[in-house]
Amino acid sequence: MENKIRLSDTVMKELEAIILNMKPGDKLPTEMELAERFSVGRSTIRECMKVFSARKMIVRRNEGTFVSSQVKECLVDPLNILVSMDIGNLTELIELREILETEAVKLAVQRATDEEIKAIERADWRMDEPGISPDEMQSRDFEFHNALAMASGNSILTELIKAIRKVIAGKLEDSTEALPISGEGSLLHKKIIRAVKERNLEEALEAMEEYLIITDYKA
């Protein structure tokens, strides 16, 4: 029985990774195909799918099983639940965000394509537009860091960063006050872009560290 539970857990983790790497609306392989891929019975796959369906990661239709449009939100809820249960506080969430964003920029230096770098630059340009409200500036700052995370080439890391930023913003009464809406923050964004383009890991990490310091809500 214990081995069966461990096998089911292993299959569920691997299936979850597959689903998170797919796009909303993508069709999943059939239960039979998945059972063959993981060398398990269809009942094991069926139980996993029930869990994913309950978590709104997938939707089942007559023509098959598809990735839900809400799949990315499934990463936000567990973080919110942990905070509401006092398992982890805002400070710890911010520390986790710093770890994830540092790793993202490290991978972006190694993996970013020309198109991904252009997307990061476009997000930065949008922040330079005059007359932007604080709320809109926060939104565009998120866009910049989402684009940077996407350049890491790791879709799960990207979604975790999106999720944790969303949770942190929701926990702050005035999240815009600490965001780099001009000046130093903007300069650091450009320093990060330059470092990614030049594949300069040391400069990229230094710029990200400075950015995280000035947006450290613990201060």
| Number of structural domains the chain divides into | 2
Spatial neighbors of 148 by CB under 8 A, at least 6 apart, are 101, 104, 105, 108, 120, 192, 196
Question: Residue 218's pLDDT band (boundaries 50, 70, 90)?
Answer: very low
Q: What pTM, to 2 d.p., does this model score?
A: 0.64
Residue type, 193: I
Domain-embedded: residue 219: no
Question: Residue 83's pLDDT band (boundaries 50, 70, 90)?
Answer: low
Residue 86 and residue 144 in one domain: yes
For residues 25, 17, 87, 53, the Cα torsion angle rounded to the nearest 10 degrees is: 40
Domain-embedded: residue 95: yes
pLDDT at 177: 44
Q: Are 211 and 188 in contact (CB under 8 A)?
A: yes
Q: Are 160 and 72 in contact (CB under 8 A)?
A: no
Question: Residue 75's pLDDT band (boundaries 50, 70, 90)?
Answer: low
Q: What's the mean pLDDT in 122-131?
A: 89
Look up residue 98 and give its two tokens: 């710093």
What residues make up the domain containing 185?
A: 75-214
Residue 174 and residue 86 in one domain: yes
- For residue 62, the domain's CATH number is 1.10.10.10
Q: What's the mean pLDDT in 78-90?
A: 58
Residue 62 and residue 158 in one domain: no
Residue 58 and residue 157 in one domain: no
